[in-house]
Amino acid sequence: MAKQIFAKEDFEKIAACLGNPEITDLQDHFRFKLVVPREKRQLSLEIYPTAKLSENAEGALVVVYTHNCHLQLHNCSGYVVSEELGEVTFIAESPGKISGLVVEREAGCSLYTNVQRGLISDDFTRFGVEVMLSGVALSLAENILDDTEE
């Protein structure tokens, strides 16, 4: 059985950071709908606290739907709320690598996958902007990462 990382208070904390969109309880998952009419942006964030991810595995699943994309982060192991940035970063870990799905209050999102774990604590200035962005974005989650994964 996968470790439960989402409880009712987590959904309230996530909603508060994202501008308090309505939280819809759909029994097996929760939906947050972010709408920014002036930018013509809309995003649905769905969090499945426990989803069957394969025949023998369960884990948390985070899904984002926009008009242009459908993103999924399997085996979400934690999240970080940044009120200052107005975003929530969802993290998934695998040996030596991390992936992150960032959802913004302004109905934007970014996905970073298979990022080398060491990058988030490295000197970002040694890398090109295209690599630096993932390191900076995911460094917010450094304190929630499993230390045994490095």
Q: Residues 66-88: pLDDT tens digits?
A: 999 999 999 999 999 999 999 99
> What sections of 30-128 are H helices per DSSP?
none
Q: How far apart are CA 15 and CA 33, in angstroms?
A: 10
Question: In this model, does residue 98 exceed pLDDT 50?
Answer: yes
Within a domain: 59: yes
Query: Token pair 């899904």 is at which residue?
Result: 63
What are the tokens at 88? Answer: 């929530």
> Strand pairing partners for 34?
43
Answer yes or no: is 2 within a domain. Answer: no
| 14 domain residue, yes or no | yes
pLDDT above 90 for 135: no
Give the per-residue pLDDT at 150: 47
Radius of gyration of the chain (CA): 15
Give the helix/strand (H/E) hosting 17: helix 8-17
* CA 20 – CA 18 distance, rounded (Å): 6
Cα–Cα distance measured from residue 149 to residue 125, given in angstroms and rounded to the nearest whole number: 24
**Number of independent structural domains in the chain:** 1
**CA 4 – CA 102 distance, rounded (Å):** 20
Domain that holds residue 106: 8-142
What whole-number distance in Å separates Cα of residue 82 and Cα of residue 50?
A: 24
pLDDT band at 41 (very low <50, low <70, confident <90, very high): very high
Structural domain contains residue 136: yes
Cα 81 → chain centroid: 10
pTM flag (> 0.75) = yes
Evaluate whether residue 3 is within a structural domain: no
> How far apart, in whole angstroms, are the C-alpha atoms of residue 148 and residue 122?
18
Mean pLDDT of 51-66: 94
Name the β-bridge partners of 24: 31
For residue 149, being part of any structural domain is answered with no
